[in-house]
């Protein structure tokens, strides 16, 4: 009896394996690119071809002492970051790096997947394009550059609507199904096609809906406005002026070569710190004004549809314990308590990838690392802000 039961269990298990293999084979036949990239993602590998964003003239980072922040507070920040599986924790205050901590197995050359932190960099590029006259105004129709929108209701969408995630464009909701539109957008081989086929389902400036479609359209818009590849633009206009190491963007395919501009700018923690310093210094690095001061100011003005969002950049204007991204998603950003500093600005990458900037404290924090769905946004900024207040 016992052996018969074992045989039954073994046969059932074998049948499940066969069925699973057949199903995966079916999915692969339907869309080999997406299925292969899901497998790559599960193994921690790149989900597309990488294109290099060249660095050149690094803004020098000065090391300093933690005179304004106690060792106890720094230890608390390090401990929290360690518990969260961090790769790096960098703290910059009043013109100097006062902590550069890398956790086991990681160092200054580690390039972590920082997800949607790219969105804020994209907003910076839009400001540069505006300053150079390549884009006339944030209030002009995006259809001036996206011809596919000229003859339908999308012609009412402005560049500002895209920057503030209030365009009213539809977007794929999260789905586990490998063949879903969501995975086509995230992992498919033609991100432009997936993006441009999204239609308006709300009026512009009616509802805040954080998604990847708006910034992907902006990336396409910049390429068309300049007549250059996005990686070359990012390198020429920004990365060569501030960064120490080359970065990469992920292309949808070798054929289409469109980068995913809603995410996936892979760079070192030190170079993400430089992005934070650029925002802290209102677009200036050393003696060079890289981005107009007025643009950085505009990026951090609360939008009409969300007081905690500017131009592809998060703000701490009003406390929300569970910060909502969009109505289609149950994912939220958790804040166990209000930010002590309401002038906080931050870059938010999925799973706790963060750059926090607190202008009133001259403070920039960078955390990169393992994906943490329970990331608490209030912890690190408040630990360090309170330490400065005590000093």
- pLDDT digit string, tens, across residues 13-55: 666 676 666 656 755 676 777 767 777 777 777 788 899 999 9
* H helix count then E strand count, the chain: 13, 14
Q: Name the nearest CA neighbour of 145 among 219, 200, 221, 229.
A: 221
* Predicted confidence (pLDDT) per residue in 336-360, tens digit: 999 999 999 999 999 999 999 999 9
Tell me what the mean pLDDT of segment 287-311 comes to: 97
69-113 pLDDT, tens digit each: 999 999 999 999 999 999 999 999 999 999 999 999 999 999 988
Q: Name the pTM for this structure.
A: 0.92
* pLDDT at residue number 14: 64
pLDDT of amino acid 39 = 73
Question: Residues 294, 135: contact at Cβ < 8 Å?
Answer: no
- Band the pLDDT of 275: cuts 50, 70, 90: very high
Query: Do the Cβ atoms of 328 and 316 come closer than 8 Å?
Result: no
Q: How far apart are CA 77 and CA 87, in angstroms?
A: 13
Q: Give the model confidence (pLDDT) of 320-329 as tens digits.
A: 999 999 999 9
| Residue 41: predicted pLDDT | 72
- Give the mean pLDDT of 260-268: 96
DSSP state of 245: S
First to last CA, the chain: 75
- pLDDT at residue number 34: 72
pLDDT in tens, 201-221: 999 999 999 999 999 999 999
Q: Does domain 50-390 have CATH number 3.40.710.10?
A: yes
List the domain boundaries for the chain: 50-390
Contact (CB, 8 A) for 286 and 59: yes
**CA–CA gap between residue 135 and residue 132 (Å, rounded):** 8
- CB within 8 A of 202, min separation 6: which ones? 168, 209
Mean pLDDT calculated for residue range 129-155: 97
pLDDT at 6: 61
Question: Of 283 and 25, which is predicted with more confidence?
Answer: 283
């Amino acid at each position: 009896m016992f052996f018969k039961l074992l045989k039954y269990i073994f046969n059932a298990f074998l049948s499940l394996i066969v069925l699973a293999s057949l199903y995966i084979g079916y999915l692969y036949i339907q869309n080999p690119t997406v299925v292969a990239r899901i497998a790559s993602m599960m193994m921690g590998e790149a989900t597309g071809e990488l294109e290099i964003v060249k660095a050149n003239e690094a803004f020098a980072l000065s090391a300093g002492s933690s005179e304004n922040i106690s060792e106890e507070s720094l230890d608390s920040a390090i401990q929290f970051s360690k518990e969260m599986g961090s790769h790096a924790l960098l703290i910059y205050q009043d013109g100097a790096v006062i902590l550069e901590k890398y956790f086991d197995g990681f160092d200054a050359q580690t390039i972590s997947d920082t997800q949607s932190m790219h969105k804020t960099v994209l907003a910076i590029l839009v400001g540069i394009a505006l300053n150079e006259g390549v884009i006339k105004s944030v209030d002009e129709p995006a259809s001036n550059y996206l011809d596919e929108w000229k003859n339908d209701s999308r012609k009412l969408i402005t560049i500002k609507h895209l920057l503030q995630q209030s365009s009213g464009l539809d977007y794929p909701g999260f789905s586990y199904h490998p063949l879903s539109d969501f995975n086509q957008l995230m992992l498919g081989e033609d991100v432009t096609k997936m993006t441009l086929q999204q239609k308006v389902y709300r009026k512009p400036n009616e509802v805040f809906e954080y998604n990847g479609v708006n910034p992907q359209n902006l990336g396409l818009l910049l390429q068309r406005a300049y007549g250059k590849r996005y990686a070359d633009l990012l390198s020429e206009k920004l990365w060569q002026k501030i960064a120490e190491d080359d970065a990469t963007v992920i292309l949808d395919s070798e054929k289409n070569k469109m980068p995913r501009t809603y995410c996936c700018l892979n760079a070192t923690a030190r170079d993400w710190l430089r992005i934070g310093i650029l925002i802290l210094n209102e677009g200036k690095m050393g003696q060079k004004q890289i981005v107009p001061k007025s643009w950085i100011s505009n990026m951090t003005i609360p939008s009409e549809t969300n007081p905690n969002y500017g131009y592809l950049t998060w703000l701490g204007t009003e406390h929300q314990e569970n910060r909502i991204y969009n109505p289609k998603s149950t994912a939220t950003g958790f804040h166990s308590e209000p930010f002590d500093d309401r002038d906080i600005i931050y870059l938010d990458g999925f799973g706790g990838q963060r750059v926090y900037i607190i202008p009133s404290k001259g403070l920039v924090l960078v955390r990169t690392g393992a994906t943490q769905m329970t990331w608490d946004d209030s912890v690190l900024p408040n630990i360090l802000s309170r330490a400065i207040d005590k000093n």
